Structure 1
Amino acid sequence: MATIAYEDFERVDIRVGTIIEAAPLEGARKPAYRLLIDFGEAIGTKKSSAQITVHYTPQELVGRQVAAVVNFPPRQIGKFMSEVLTLGFPAADGSVVLIAPTKPVPNGGKLF
């Protein structure tokens, strides 16, 4: 794996936000949820599609803080426009486990 400069890392804007809505994403090829995430006043609310149906229900996602890349261009997922990339790691079976702070932090905080 090639090394990168710290400046390269700084270009990826990873922020924390709180999920305020979660529901199944209709028309997705793979099971996914559509999320509405509050990133605080400076960034606002953004939509995301996330293939996290194995470990999470929509009800338990609402109120949960997550990390997301907020400066990628929007991506069309079926009929849904995903504005941010919600981040996770693969479990042993390949399903996604979300990245989240271990204690509450203000929405919009930047990962460093």
Structure 2
Amino acid sequence: MRLKTHQLTYLAAKDLFNLYYTAKAVERSGVQGLFIETGVALGGSAIAIGWAKQKQREFRLYDAFGLIPPPSEKDEADVHMRYEEIKSGKSKGLGKHLYYGYV
């Protein structure tokens, strides 16, 4: 899959396919509304949804486009650990690329 080859997603291939086929199923079922993605990151899942959706369906994308906001006391320990890893500059990107939140 091109999105994985070009390192545009952190999703596993099976999850990316699941996202694509779920968006296709929404289109086939005739459900009204729009698609929203929060946390666009590298854009791979947004591209997959874009391939699956009808042209006339609205699709909104949201991202902090930088360092993610800090977790709250309601977040689990793993979320706090991940935030500290990112904040410290130790998070790795895909392949040899810099982590997208540092760009």
TM-score bracket relative to the smaller structure: under 0.3
Kindly indicate which of the two structures has a greater share of residues assigned to helix: 2
- Of structures 1 and 2, the one scoring higher in RCO (CA 8 A, sep 6+) is 1
